[in-house]
Amino acid sequence: MIFDLDGTLVDSRLDFTAIRGELACPEGVGVLEYIQLLPESDRRAAEQIVLDHERRGAERAEWIPGARECLQFCSRRNLPTAILTRNAREVADLTMTRLGIQVDILLAREDCPPKPAPDGLLQIAAAWSLSPKRLVYVGDFLYDLQAARRANMISCFYDPALTDSYPDETDWHLADFEQFTEMLATA
């Protein structure tokens, strides 16, 4: 089981509209991708803006209902768990330390190309010596689902608002973690 962090396991209340506004990032372009398009002289300041927002999010992050229990269930069943996030490692570490999140592997944006690239998911599969087809990636955004598809993993869309977005990219649809833990218990 591989999970996204923000918006999936935790709610850090990141304000992407504010981030995009401060960066002058156009709609339809990922924030990290936009920063890579900036002249090198502007990148560091833009990266700092994102990092400052992420750090504030990590300091106020709270568990998504049922997510902690789902990870505990996976641990009891000896199911390996990992997190793949587009966040900076220091921010992911801060969130995980504050909330006591324990997984076998954490990959952040310094460790691999950001999602929707499948590299991080494939790196985790290789570390576990498992076929990607045997793994599930749970996320709350299109990039998560695209990364799972590109890695040939089961894509699970965490969608508590029941938007039914991204149906072509979603193998499993998840309204809440209680439902997910029940599904894992009967598998």
Which residues, other chains included, contact 45 with Cβ-Cβ below 8 Å and sequence gap of 6+?
Answer: none
Q: What is the mean pLDDT of the chain?
A: 95
Note the pLDDT of residue 70. 97
Tokens representing residue 100 in the block: 């006591």
For the stretch 105-126, pLDDT in tens is 999 999 999 999 999 999 999 9
DSSP secondary structure of 130-182:
--GGG-EEEESSHHHHHHHHHTT-EEEEE-TT-----GGG-SEEES-HHHHHH
Both tokens assigned to 73: 């269930």
Distance CA 78, CA 174 (A): 22
CA distance 51 to 125: 28
CATH of 2-10+63-186, one of 3.40.50.1000, 3.40.50.2300, 3.90.800.10, 3.40.50.20: 3.40.50.1000
Residue 146: the pLDDT is 97
What are the residues whose beta carbons fall under 8 Å from the beta carbon of 96, sequence distance 6 or more? 83, 102, 103, 106
Which residue stretches of the chain have pLDDT < 50?
A: none
What's residue 115's pLDDT?
96
User: CA 98 to CA 78: how far, in whole Å?
Assistant: 24
| Domain parsing of the chain, residue ranges | 2-10+63-186, 16-60
